[in-house]
Amino acid sequence: MPTNRQYLLQRRPDGEPVPDDFELVETSTPELEKGQFLIRNHYASLDPAMRGWMDAGGNYMPPVPLGTSMRASTIGVVEESRAEGFEPGQWVMGLNALEDYSLGVAGGFTQPIDHTLVPSVTNYLSIFGAVGMTAYFGFLEVCEPKEGETVLVSGAAGAVGSLVGQLAKIHGCRAVGIAGGSEKCARLMEKYGFDAAIDYKAFARDDEAGLTEAIAKAAPDGVDVIFENVGGAILDAGLMNLNLFARVGLCGLISEYNTAPRGARNIWQLIVKRGQIRGLLVADYVERFPEGASKMGEWAAAGKLTIDEHIDEGLENTFDAFMRLFAGSNQGKMILKIAT
């Protein structure tokens, strides 16, 4: 059996993860039992949610046990199989781990995919994966946009945020994005079609007043929808610009994942403006993924949607690739190429 490199979680991070929280080890792949198949992982999705899975308390998923491979969505090829419906050479996608080889089980989370239907098989981790489905269902189902409304997207240059801004434009909304740095802001407008972009790095970390003013300038008629990925002062500044009956879709709070929670201080604006805030998890829509994938594919084929993918190579580079998500140095959906 081939050697299996595994990227293990060895201790719970205290604040921002450090390299010593993890270990890359070599083990042997196990013998297959009936109903199992062996996956050679080619690509893995790196997502901010993985930071929450490292904590002892867990969140919407149980914590990753210490001494085991970090959980991740992967795309790979069936190497060997003792499971009906899974043949060697078949491409599959599922919730597996950061390792060369993963065990799949018939009836489990790993399912066959058709790599011939997409320009790149990695698209199953971006526009047709959890990223695309989060944007689709999170924006359309949770935020309930209406034509002519103004949509504010934080983390707008990220994988989900960039798609939400484009979906806003498809549905006749004005899209205002918040991103870090002039280069990313330019990309929002020139590549993704946002109407306005705000560079949060032009302000001090907790300059809520400055951000509030910048949002008011970019959205002079107020904000009807906030698609929130960041939290902190950015969320509070957005709340100060709400219109009556505004909706806030809470997708992420990446600014607080490695620090003590700051919390939202301007929630009272939801009372004043009779607004609502609702958390969202893409797992709630798994049964409707074919619907979302069909629509996203339709819009992509028509040239209305653009997705960027940032691919780093090598399990040995997992830590640096993962931390790009918190430094904001990735240019699109963060993907790790495992197979050489």
pLDDT tens, position by position, 10-69: 999 999 999 999 999 999 998 899 999 999 999 999 999 999 999 998 678 899 999 999
Give the pLDDT of residue 114: 92
Q: Give the number of C-alpha atoms closer than 13 A to the C-alpha of residue 113, restricted to the C-beta side.
A: 24
Give the pLDDT of residue 205: 81
- pLDDT exceeds cutoff 70 at 78: yes
Of the candidate CATH numbers 3.40.50.720, 3.40.50.10310, 3.30.70.260, 1.25.40.10, the domain formed by 130-283 belongs to 3.40.50.720
Count of CB atoms within 10 A of residue 319's CB?
15
pLDDT tens digits along 91-135: 999 999 999 999 999 878 899 999 998 999 999 999 999 999 999
Distance CA 194, CA 111 (A): 35
Distance CA 128, CA 135 (A): 10
- pLDDT exceeds cutoff 70 at 284: yes
- What is the average pLDDT score of the chain? 94
**Max avg pLDDT among 23-32, 106-115, 216-225, 320-329:** 216-225
Sequence spans of domains, the chain = 3-125+308-337, 130-283
CATH topology of domain 3-125+308-337: Quinone Oxidoreductase; Chain A, domain 1 (3.90.180)
Distance CA 29, CA 5 (A): 9
Q: What is the mean pLDDT of residues 134-161?
A: 97
Name the token pair of 10: 């060895």
